[in-house]
Structure 1
């Protein structure tokens, strides 16, 4: 099989064309099966129906405020075939903030469900229709699949707007072209040997990039089937893997950890699951998931913007992202000079934007992302003597302690060793002369004296890395993609549990 690079010019239409007549593979949802032939025929009817409701003088943007399901998949396929530009609206947002997202994305039409409709106030210039309503059913029913002819798309054509997860601020609408889905889908399908006998499991939110790029598009490229879960469920994961014969699943954030907290079953290693692909899983969770389920866990580094991608190799140390391979570099954010091994810097793409197509309606944010002519991830890392990249946090989380720049992630890794700490976030606490190191611990019954003794015993915790402000909490706020919502966490904090 020919390997397809993530920069090759391919389109979703090219991936879907071989599936138009396929009857023995398709989409599973709630135990019901729809063949690819039927699914793509429905997508063409949806494309015709939605297009009939759009003003040709305005951007053809269709907002989707729906949970995971076959409806979302049809609408994404309709956009993939060139029917309109899909706008994934985050169903964890509410009220004016959600309406502002839809307005920023220039949505003409917004499709909702009975569950999501109450979340959205009126959006000026947008028509809102419930996909379960007679209005939408009759509109779709007025068209046959042949009424819409798939567009001969260019790889650069805008297909979807996906909002960033908003872990540290307001979400931005990322422009996602045909190539952003199709090229990684083809590359990953080839990398993992996806084929007609595979079933890809989608439980991550479909309004986000992980489900559509690392799941849906991979299945389409491999000619595989898809099993869609309404939402991620740690307890439901094992049931669905067995029910649908899942061989491939994608994740982002903490799902592996949540699955591992469920009781083991005697046949966990015999389910047929062979690949778990995602990012931000801990080394301990990756190893335990592989031991328990017999699946290969491949954890990479990337983002919705897709300007930089780092992949693990078999030789990559457990605590590293992968080898540093040009054009990716770790540099001083001010000078763009490569940093020495062991020194924290910013991960950048020195060759340009990669697959980043810019932010919709926010040229200033796009320019800032490409400041200096290189793609800036805003992520910190250091490179070890063997050339492997180690994540060190976000630039916004960069601590300045006694004149030294510190990343938060290495400190968090040390604090997670404490047996009573189940999760941790390290943050900077502003002082008159820089930052103090603060630690928010998800823990039960941590004794201050014992914790201080624990810190004393950690050989790789430098004096400047030692937390001097500690909060004990029950849970951490999360985004829909299981990342810690740092801005919400900071806003919720009161006085520290103790100060050193």
Structure 2
């Protein structure tokens, strides 16, 4: 039978439904302030009315948001949703030129910008003729103050825009580690599934009695996690500053009886290794969710010992909004046995299907390495105005992640690494992740990244960039001697370099593009191989 309508709930309905049930309960806490659900809702209505009546924002218009985490970030998200406009958050650590590119690429009509980023506002105006207005969070010369606008439109309401399943609600910019960021189009219908799936697979039984601590930028995965809290009426707690203060994070966990948080492996590593983890009561934690990159086994075991059986892993990209696999807390183990499947990132999320494919799109047998491809309701609608990228991203209906891996016969996925990270040495494919896992088991090494570098004899050989632990002074000869015998010789890195810290992307990930650039800058690519 022909379907007559593809209409779905506007995502702003999550906030409206929660307000109706719990109007006077705390929705958000930040610094020395907190807001009830009804208070947040009034501010969202006021901003939506202002955007519509004063700035002419309507369905489909894009609104760029450059800000560190704050209450206005949450409010701007729902104000955009309510109007049927598209929320386009940046990572606030990006440079003015990087954000200006996002403004132009998204065709943003307006910008909401923290007053600490005047150069970003100026660069965006210069880069995009579509940008008609800017609103400042705080006093700034480039636009009217956000809170002053809220005061002017206090008590105003607007009708919620009707939306179809594929109407865009969020441009989720990829991290751009291999090129310019692309705007992944997230839609109202897709995101309703994602939120349901997060609640089902990652943090079941979440209710209004729960509290969530935000330790990552709301512009990306943490913002998706926030939406799940709104859907269930759980309160959200923001860190007071823009930098991760681990001691303050554990204080807030104790104060607010935090039960869940979203992290990336680098942040979880910092949280688990900081002395304050043993000084604060964190028994309220039920789900410490990590994603964004695979977590090395050494760090995973340490986190389990520090926090207990509460860590949950998922694998997913922005384009699939995190919904590819889940490894629940019950399947994180301290000991490695065949039954515990060490190194797995879990099994397919509810309603999603994974296929390991070769370069021709043929599905491979269990145990064989190929590209991880996925289908299901969480897959995005495509990249905004980028047909070339869309053609590369989809094949026979499958979204191609660009990650390599294999599955076992039970459907558990093991990630080998990014296809772009693989290098060929003496005709053999080398996957850096396996080597990195081994190096990280050395007691003196805190972080590592292995890259392929040119070699006249072998084509490429491995170079390992290592960050020593505090007080340790490992050297190249000792590391080469130590790792010899722990894997096939053709996989062994031929060079080691030691840096005090690892370059990371604006999203807290170890980014090999940045590491390679730093190797070139330092001249470390010019040395002889061992």
Same fold by TM-score greater than 0.5: yes
> What residue ranges of structure 2 are gaps of 5+ in the alignment?
1-6, 332-339
Other-structure match for 2:160: 150
Other-structure match for 1:260: 272
Candidates 350, 372, 375, aligned match of 1:347: 372
Is the aligned partner of 1:212 residue 2:212?
Answer: no
Residues of 1 paired with 2:517 and 2:188: CA distance?
Answer: 38
From the superposition, tell whether residues 354 and 111 of structure 1 become closer, same or farther in structure 2 (CA, over 3 Å). Answer: closer
Residues of 2 paired with 1:441 and 1:319: CA distance?
Answer: 21
Other-structure match for 2:448: 424
TM-score, L = length of structure 2: 0.85
CA drift at 1:74: 0.5
| 8 Å Cα contact 1:442/1:476 also seen in 2 | yes
Other-structure match for 2:402: 378
Candidates 211, 214, 224, aligned match of 1:202: 214
Matches within 5 A, 1:30-429: 30-55=31-56, 60-120=61-121, 121=123, 122-123=125-126, 124-125=128-129, 126=131, 127-133=133-139, 135-136=144-145, 137-190=147-200, 191-208=203-220, 210-213=221-224, 215-229=225-239, 230-231=241-242, 232-264=244-276, 268=280, 270-279=282-291, 280-294=294-308, 296-306=310-320, 309-313=324-328, 314-315=330-331, 317-323=341-347, 327-332=353-358, 334-349=359-374, 351=375, 354-384=378-408, 387-429=411-453
Is the aligned partner of 1:495 residue 2:524?
Answer: yes
| 8 Å Cα contact 1:268/1:293 also seen in 2 | no
Residues of 1 paired with 2:233 and 2:134: CA distance?
Answer: 34
Cα deviation 1:290-326 (Å, max 9, x = unaligned):
4333451101100111175111154552311113687
CA drift at 1:111: 1.4
Residues of 2 paired with 1:420 and 1:40: CA distance?
Answer: 51
From the superposition, tell whether residues 223 and 162 of structure 1 become closer, same or farther in structure 2 (CA, over 3 Å). Answer: same
| 8 Å Cα contact 2:63/2:112 also seen in 1 | yes
Candidates 472, 485, 490, aligned match of 1:464: 490
Cα deviation 1:434-468 (Å, max 9, x = unaligned):
3222221122522233212211231xx12221112
Residues of 1 paired with 2:309 and 2:13: CA distance?
Answer: 30
Residues of 2 paired with 1:53 and 1:366: CA distance?
Answer: 36
Residues of 2 paired with 1:199 and 1:44: CA distance?
Answer: 24
| 8 Å Cα contact 1:19/1:37 also seen in 2 | no
Classify the secondary structure of the residue corresponding to 2:12: helix
CA drift at 1:28: 0.9
Residues of 2 paired with 1:324 and 1:57: CA distance?
Answer: 37
CA drift at 1:187: 2.6
From the superposition, tell whether residues 9 and 152 of structure 1 become closer, same or farther in structure 2 (CA, over 3 Å). Answer: closer
Residues of 2 paired with 1:471 and 1:272: CA distance?
Answer: 41
Classify the secondary structure of the residue corresponding to 1:12: coil
Classify the secondary structure of the residue corresponding to 2:49: helix
Residues of 1 paired with 2:112 and 2:303: CA distance?
Answer: 37
Classify the secondary structure of the residue corresponding to 2:222: helix
Residues of 2 paired with 1:91 and 1:146: CA distance?
Answer: 30
Residues of 2 paired with 1:303 and 1:145: CA distance?
Answer: 39
Cα deviation 1:241-284 (Å, max 9, x = unaligned):
12222111111231111012211455645541211112133334
TM-score, L = length of structure 1: 0.90
Classify the secondary structure of the residue corresponding to 1:305: helix
Residues of 1 paired with 2:36 and 2:206: CA distance?
Answer: 18
| 8 Å Cα contact 1:352/1:373 also seen in 2 | no
Other-structure match for 1:454: 482
RMSD: 2.6
Classify the secondary structure of the residue corresponding to 2:163: coil
| 8 Å Cα contact 1:23/1:37 also seen in 2 | yes
Classify the secondary structure of the residue corresponding to 1:321: strand
Classify the secondary structure of the residue corresponding to 1:441: strand
Residues of 1 paired with 2:430 and 2:287: CA distance?
Answer: 35
Classify the secondary structure of the residue corresponding to 1:115: coil
Residues of 2 paired with 1:188 and 1:138: CA distance?
Answer: 36
From the superposition, tell whether residues 161 and 226 of structure 1 become closer, same or farther in structure 2 (CA, over 3 Å). Answer: same
Residues of 2 paired with 1:256 and 1:160: CA distance?
Answer: 27
Question: Greater relative contact order: 1 or 2 (C-alpha under 8 angstroms, separation 6 or more)?
Answer: 1
| 8 Å Cα contact 1:79/1:160 also seen in 2 | no
Other-structure match for 1:484: 510
Cα deviation 1:161-181 (Å, max 9, x = unaligned):
121122333211111112343
Classify the secondary structure of the residue corresponding to 2:144: helix
